[in-house]
């Protein structure tokens, strides 16, 4: 049986290839020798492939340490953002109090405040608290996110209110309503949001750059920049190897969770 | 698993949502162990009344008593009510067993006790073998029964149902009606059942409370609701096809319904209507209470009508009639000879006529003792 592919898939395919090209280039260059890199042909295929670049990177900088730093910060920030978003979204949906909507929209407004506005006050605050060069300093200003509150509020509002009402009639307290009724029902959103937070924090460059000058506290984006500078901008194979290693953890996290997200999407809901 | 039922008393209860009044001063007493149906069209306030009992909404003014105790400010969890929601509100990620057990676990009922109650409920509702299924793996009827099981294991004195059958197909619904009444007889709790379906109301309710626009129209037995509607709203709302309502003017013993439409009122009715000193009236005639004749009748004995449309519904036939500028329906059970077309005469059984006041639409009562009927209905 022949499947007919609509013609407009071809331009889409080109766009996909275009956006994949830098990634392919990164992966390929990481396995090339310097001669292959500077070969005039645009052949992306590293043949014969070499792992020397990876060995070199591992020897040149304490990559493990940077991965650990980045992971700790990304983990703390993701966990904290999810927690604050969940609690705020619960409050904005389950309690009715005067000024609730106003408060929510004020909260949303913070999305539109550019980073450059809060950057200096946050820096000064962290510096006065003596939190420069600490995980706390990097993580603390990122621990709440209006986008998370907004998205989770939407998810909770999409759950039939009768689920919560049935629980209230059974004398179920807020903790258990949240933990046993609402969170399982919005699990797909939580996971998706968690991945988003994790990858964003993982890739964050500017704020860690302000907060950290102690090399042992560097996160991966800072380390990459440092490594590029050290290599004088010519050792492309090694730089691409470092970039490949740096991008692995979020890709793995995404792949693991993606399967799970799809799974929970399929099995959620009560459609008859 | 019979429980000790409590009574429910709405004392001038009013509920507003912002500027919208959902319930205007509801006065209603539901006896302990009674099966009361709240019936009315969408937006009439019936679900609001139910949610007030559950504590999911707060009373705006007036007092709500549960078993003699003022309940206005009680939290839903403190009211000891079991409720079945229209969409069943089963927790999608829990199994049938977990769904039913959840509320009991929260209230720290002993494990053995939980097990025993769930087993009994599953047996009563024929759900054995489905314990490990999740709601999405159940049919609509099974979900509805799981929701019922979750409610009955609470063994609460109040059992509230919000249109629990509206998501089932017609056949299941008929079966579920009977099951519900049987279940209530076993439980013996005070049951309030909300529906917009008059058949459900007539078959399930020991009494029916009809609401319209947030105002209680009538509370009575199904028999009295049908035979003695308190006003034109109830008269039209109950019965299918609805009651014919014909505005007219009473002059002495004559009723003028329009051009060439005159009826002689029998003595008991004309004396009764005279006593009401109301000459602008609305006459109510149920479609099944009229007769169509092919031979002419004496002047004032019947109304000349034409058939404009016929419907064969199997067990009955419906005739849409035109009498002058008035439209009526008549229904006859199968087996009677089909009237031919052309000019026919519609005659009335005066023992089955209703009169309402024009204006407020309230019933003008009946010239015979209606109490007899009420007593018979309760027996």
- CA distances, B121 to each of A163, B53, B174, B301 (Å): 21, 24, 21, 59
Give the pLDDT confidence score for residue B41 in this predicted structure.
Answer: 94
Q: Which residues of A touch B100 (CB under 8 A)?
A: none
Q: With an 8 Å Cβ cutoff, is A267 touching chain B?
A: yes
Nearest to B106 among A165, A176, A267 (CB): A176
Q: With an 8 Å Cβ cutoff, is B85 touching chain A?
A: yes
Q: With an 8 Å Cβ cutoff, is A169 touching chain B?
A: yes
Give the pLDDT confidence score for residue B130 in this predicted structure.
Answer: 94
**Taking a contact as any Cβ pair under 8 Å apart, which residues of chain B between 314 and 343 contact chain A?**
none
**What pLDDT band is residue B1 in, cutting at 50, 70 and 90?**
low
The string of DSSP codes covering A183-196 is HHHTHHHHHHHHHH
pLDDT in tens, B304-331: 999 999 888 888 889 999 998 889 999 9
Instruction: Output b/e per residue, A219-243; b: 16+ Cβ within 10 A.
Output: bbbbbbeebbeebeeebbbbbbbbb
pLDDT in tens, A116-135: 999 999 999 999 999 999 99
Nearest to B77 among A169, A180, A184 (CB): A169
Give the pLDDT confidence score for residue B370 in this predicted structure.
Answer: 60
Give the pLDDT confidence score for residue A207 in this predicted structure.
Answer: 94
d(CA B103, CA A33): 66
Give the pLDDT confidence score for residue B374 in this predicted structure.
Answer: 47
Q: What is the mean pLDDT of residues B58-79?
A: 94
CB contact (8 A) between residue B75 and residue A168: yes
Q: Chain A interface, mutation test: which of B77, B101, B149, most A Cβ atoms within 10 Å? A: B77
Q: What is the mean pLDDT of residues B47-61?
A: 95
CB contact (8 A) between residue A162 and residue B54: no
- Of A135, A133, A121, the C-alpha closest to A212 is A133
Give the pLDDT confidence score for residue B378 in this predicted structure.
Answer: 45
Q: Chain A interface, mutation test: which of B85, B148, B172, most A Cβ atoms within 10 Å? A: B85
Q: With an 8 Å Cβ cutoff, is B17 touching chain A?
A: no
CB contact (8 A) between residue B103 and residue A180: no
The token pair that represents A135 in the structure block? 């995980």
Q: What is the mean pLDDT of residues A43-50?
A: 78
Whether residue A1 is predicted with pLDDT greater than 60 in this model: the reply is: no
Provide the 10 A C-beta neighbour count for residue A196: 17
- CA distances, B324 to each of B85, B180, B223, B328 (Å): 48, 47, 33, 10
pLDDT in tens, B335-348: 666 777 778 899 99
Q: How far is A244 from chain B (nearest CA, A)?
A: 39
CB contact (8 A) between residue A169 and residue B140: no
CB contact (8 A) between residue A172 and residue B82: no
Q: With an 8 Å Cβ cutoff, is A174 touching chain B?
A: no
Whether residue B373 is predicted with pLDDT greater than 70 in this model: the reply is: no
More confident of the two residues A268 and B117: B117
Nearest to B77 among A168, A181, A268 (CB): A168
d(CA B149, CA B154): 9
pLDDT in tens, B173-182: 888 899 899 9
- Structural domains in chain B plus CATH codes: 8-232 (3.40.50.300), 242-378 (2.40.50.140)
Question: CA quadruple B24, B29, B33, B34: dihedral positive or negative?
Answer: negative
Residue partners of B310: CB distance under 8 A and separation at least 6: B317, B318, B319, B320
Q: With an 8 Å Cβ cutoff, is B103 touching chain A?
A: yes
Supply the ipTM of this predicted assembly: 0.84
Nearest to A163 among B76, B83, B91 (CB): B91
CB contact (8 A) between residue A172 and residue B135: no
Q: Which residues of B touch A267 (CB under 8 A)?
A: 136
Provide the 10 A C-beta neighbour count for residue B357: 16
Q: How far is B77 from chain A (nearest CA, A)?
A: 4
> How much of chain A exceeds pLDDT 70, in percent?
93
Q: With an 8 Å Cβ cutoff, is B78 touching chain A?
A: yes
**What pLDDT band is residue B376 in, cutting at 50, 70 and 90?**
very low
According to DSSP, the residues that pair with B61 across neighbouring strands are: B14
Q: How many CB pairs under 8 A join A and B?
A: 75
Please state, rounded to an integer, the average pLDDT across all residues of chain B.
90
β-bridge pairing B261-264 and B190-195: unpaired
Give the pLDDT confidence score for residue A35 in this predicted structure.
Answer: 81
> How much of chain B exceeds pLDDT 70, in percent?
95
Q: Which residues of B touch A268 (CB under 8 A)?
A: 92
Nearest to B85 among A162, A172, A185 (CB): A162
Q: What is the mean pLDDT of residues A22-45?
A: 83
Give the pLDDT confidence score for residue A32 in this predicted structure.
Answer: 87
**What pLDDT band is residue A261 in, cutting at 50, 70 and 90?**
low
Q: How far is B244 from chain A (nearest CA, A)?
A: 40
d(CA B242, CA B328): 10
Please state, rounded to an integer, the average pLDDT across all residues of chain A.
88
Give the pLDDT confidence score for residue B176 in this predicted structure.
Answer: 86
Q: With an 8 Å Cβ cutoff, is B135 touching chain A?
A: yes
Question: CA quadruple A27, A28, A31, A32: dihedral positive or negative?
Answer: negative
**Chain A residue with the nearest C-alpha to that of B155:** A170
Q: Which residues of B touch A272 (CB under 8 A)?
A: 139-140, 143, 167
Q: With an 8 Å Cβ cutoff, is A170 touching chain B?
A: yes
Helix/strand/coil percent split, chain A, to 5? 75, 0, 25
d(CA B217, CA B238): 12
Residue partners of A121: CB distance under 8 A and separation at least 6: none
Give the pLDDT confidence score for residue A269 in this predicted structure.
Answer: 44
pLDDT in tens, B279-297: 899 999 999 998 888 888 8
According to DSSP, the residues that pair with B293 across neighbouring strands are: B345
d(CA A250, CA A71): 10
Nearest to A160 among B82, B87, B106 (CB): B87
Length of chain B: 379
- Structural domains in chain A plus CATH codes: 1-50 (no CATH), 54-267 (1.10.3720.10)
């Amino acid at each position: 049986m022949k499947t007919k592919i609509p013609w407009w898939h071809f331009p889409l395919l080109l766009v996909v290839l275009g956006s994949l090209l830098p990634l392919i280039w990164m992966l390929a260059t990481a396995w090339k020798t310097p001669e292959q890199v500077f070969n005039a042909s645009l052949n992306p295929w590293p043949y014969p492939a070499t792992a020397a670049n990876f060995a070199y990177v591992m020897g040149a900088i304490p990559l493990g340490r940077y991965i650990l730093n980045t992971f700790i910060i990304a983990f703390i920030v993701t966990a904290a953002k999810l927690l604050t978003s969940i609690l705020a979204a619960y409050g904005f949906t389950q309690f009715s109090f005067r000024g609730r909507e106003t408060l929510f929209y004020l909260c949303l407004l913070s999305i539109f405040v550019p980073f450059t506005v809060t950057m200096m006050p946050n820096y000064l605050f962290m510096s006065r608290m003596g939190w420069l060069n600490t995980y706390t300093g990097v993580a603390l200003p990122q621990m709440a996110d209006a986008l998370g509150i907004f998205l989770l509020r939407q998810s909770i509002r999409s759950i039939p209110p009768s689920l919560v009402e049935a629980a209230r009639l059974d004398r179920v307290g807020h903790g258990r309503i949240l933990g046993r009724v609402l969170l399982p029902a919005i699990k797909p959103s939580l996971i998706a949001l968690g991945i988003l937070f994790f990858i964003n924090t993982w890739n964050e460059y500017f704020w860690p750059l302000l907060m950290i000058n102690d090399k042992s506290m560097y996160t991966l984006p800072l380390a990459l920049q440092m490594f590029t500078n050290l290599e004088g901008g010519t050792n492309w194979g090694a730089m691409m190897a470092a970039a490949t290693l740096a991008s692995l953890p979020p890709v793995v996290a995404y792949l693991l969770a993606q399967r799970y997200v799809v799974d929970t999407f399929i099995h959620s809901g009560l459609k008859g | 698993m019979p429980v000790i039922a409590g009574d429910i008393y709405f004392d001038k209860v009013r509920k507003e949502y912002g500027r919208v009044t959902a319930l205007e001063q509801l006065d209603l007493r539901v006896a302990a162990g009674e099966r009361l149906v709240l019936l009315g069209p969408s937006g009439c306030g019936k679900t609001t009344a139910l949610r007030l009992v559950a504590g999911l909404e707060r009373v705006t003014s007036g007092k709500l008593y549960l078993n003699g105790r003022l309940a206005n400010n009680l939290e839903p969890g403190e009211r000891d009510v079991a409720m079945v929601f229209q969409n069943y509100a089963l927790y999608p990620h829990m199994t049938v067993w977990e769904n039913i057990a959840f509320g009991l676990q929260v209230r720290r009922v002993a494990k053995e006790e939980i097990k025993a109650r769930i087993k009994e409920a599953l047996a009563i509702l024929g759900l054995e073998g489905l314990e490990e299924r999740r709601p999405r793996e159940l049919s609509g009827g099974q979900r509805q029964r799981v929701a019922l099981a979750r409610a009955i294991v609470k063994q609460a004195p109040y059992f509230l149902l919000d249109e629990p059958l509206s998501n089932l197909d017609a056949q299941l619904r008929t079966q579920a009606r009977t099951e519900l009444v049987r279940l209530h007889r076993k439980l013996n709790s005070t049951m309030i059942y909300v529906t917009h379906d008059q058949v459900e109301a007539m078959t399930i309710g020991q009494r029916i409370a009809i609401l319209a626009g947030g105002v209680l129209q009538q509370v009575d037995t199904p028999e009295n609701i049908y035979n003695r509607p308190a006003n034109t709203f109830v008269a039209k709302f109950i019965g299918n096809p609805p009651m014919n309502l014909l505005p007219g003017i009473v002059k002495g013993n004559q009723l003028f319904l329009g051009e060439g439409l005159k009826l002689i009122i029998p003595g008991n009715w004309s004396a009764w209507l005279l006593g009401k000193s109301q000459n602008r009236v609305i006459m109510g005639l149920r479609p099944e209470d009229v007769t169509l004749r092919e031979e002419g009748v004496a002047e004032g004995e019947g109304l000349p009508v034409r058939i404009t449309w016929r419907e064969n519904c199997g067990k009955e036939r419906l005739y849409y009639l035109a009498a002058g500028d008035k439209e009526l329906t008549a229904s006859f059970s199968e087996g009677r000879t089909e009237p031919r077309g052309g000019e026919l005469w519609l005659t009335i059984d005066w023992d089955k006529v209703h009169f309402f006041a024009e204006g407020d639409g309230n019933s003008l009562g009946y010239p015979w003792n209606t109490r007899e009927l009420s007593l018979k209905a309760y027996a």
